[in-house]
Amino acid sequence: MMPLADFVRSTPFFVIAHRGASGIAPENTMASLQRAIDAGAVMVELDVQLSSDRQLMVFHDSVLGRTTNGRGYVRNHTADELRSLDAGSWFSNEFANERIPFLREAIELLRGKAYLNIELKPLHESPDAAEETAALVALVHELGIAPYMTFSSFDHRALKMVKEHDPAILTLALNVPGDKRMPSQVVAACGADAYGCSVNELSKQRSADAIAHDIPFGVYTVNSEEQLRHALSYGVRCVVSNVPDHIVSVYRSLTSHA
């Protein structure tokens, strides 16, 4: 694999599997990550937050109810408690054995097979945010994936902390809904290398600004041909999707007839 920075610069268009292949398996589980690899995803996005005993866990919501049989806030449960939950049955009985992954095992599964987009759910709420960011940076170095991944976040202070620990690690600033600043302003403010926003936030001004400033930018979440056509019409070269293999094949059919 070439380093992610080179891949982004040299690839006309690519798709990121959102929370793994979350359209066909329960999001942010080992099953969804494996299905993303099996579907040939070039990059996989997953979400990270902390257990009460400061373990890095792969999970999206701040609360447990939607995607597990648990209740309450993730941050109020230990890793052992989180690991005892069923994180798959809500999607289908076929996935009843899925557990909330540790970030480490998720990285070990994906390493060497796909680029990683590790989304940091708000860390600044933690009193130990700097220490936790240091642990994250240390983990990606220990596992040897630093050149092949990016940290993304709506929490731009967390991205700044990453850069303070290691300026070489790529970061991607997600636009906070309602923030009217242009991509160049957002990335300049937090030192990020790339910019992302919702497909619904695309505008001519945003895409023109990103292109003029040579800022890699992508949009989430693109699951249909209509959404893909919309994104491509703005010059987007990277989309996040729950159904990455479907969007890759739609892209191929659109461009082969161009």
Give the interface with ligand G3P as residue ranges (CB under 6 A): 18, 45, 47, 60, 119, 152, 174, 196, 220, 240
Touching Mg ion, residues 40-69 (CB under 5 A): 47
What is the per-residue burial (b if ≥16 Cβ within 10 Å, else e) of 79-118? bebbbebbbbbbbeeebeebbbbbbeebbebbbebbbbbb
Contacts of 4 (CB under 8 A, 6+ apart): 115, 147, 148, 149, 150, 170
Min. distance of Cβ 47 from Mg ion in angstroms?
4
Size of the site for Mg ion (CB under 5 A): 2
Report what 152 binds from ligand G3P, Mg ion, none; CB cut-off 5-8 Å by kind.
ligand G3P
Residue 119 and residue 153 in contact, taking contact as beta carbons nearer than 8 Å? yes
Q: Which amino acid is at 228?
A: L
3-state secondary structure of 117: strand
Min. distance of Cβ 207 from ligand G3P in angstroms?
17
Which CB atom, from 19 or from 163, has the smaller least distance to ligand G3P? 19
Min. distance of Cβ 257 from Mg ion in angstroms?
32
DSSP for residue 200 = G
Which CB atom, from 138 or from 234, has the smaller least distance to ligand G3P? 234
Min. distance of Cβ 208 from Mg ion in angstroms?
26
Which CB atom, from 198 or from 255, has the smaller least distance to ligand G3P? 198
Touching Mg ion, residues 111-150 (CB under 5 A): 119
Min. distance of Cβ 48 from ligand G3P in angstroms?
10
Helix (H) / strand (E) containing 255 = helix 244-256
Min. distance of Cβ 126 from Mg ion in angstroms?
18
Which CB atom, from 115 or from 209, has the smaller least distance to Mg ion? 115
Report what 240 binds from ligand G3P, Mg ion, none; CB cut-off 5-8 Å by kind.
ligand G3P
The strand pair at 194-198 and 217-220 is best described as parallel
Query: How many CB atoms sit inside 10 A of residue 42's CB?
Result: 18
Identify the bridge partners of residue 137 per DSSP, sorted by sequence position: none
Report what 244 binds from Mg ion, ligand G3P, none; CB cut-off 5-8 Å by kind.
none
Nearest to 200 by CA among 184, 216, 223: 223
Sole residue written with tokens 């919501």:
61
Query: Which residue in the shown chain puts its C-beta closest to Mg ion?
Result: 119
Which CB atom, from 119 or from 209, has the smaller least distance to Mg ion? 119
- For Mg ion, the binding residues (CB under 5 A) are 47, 119
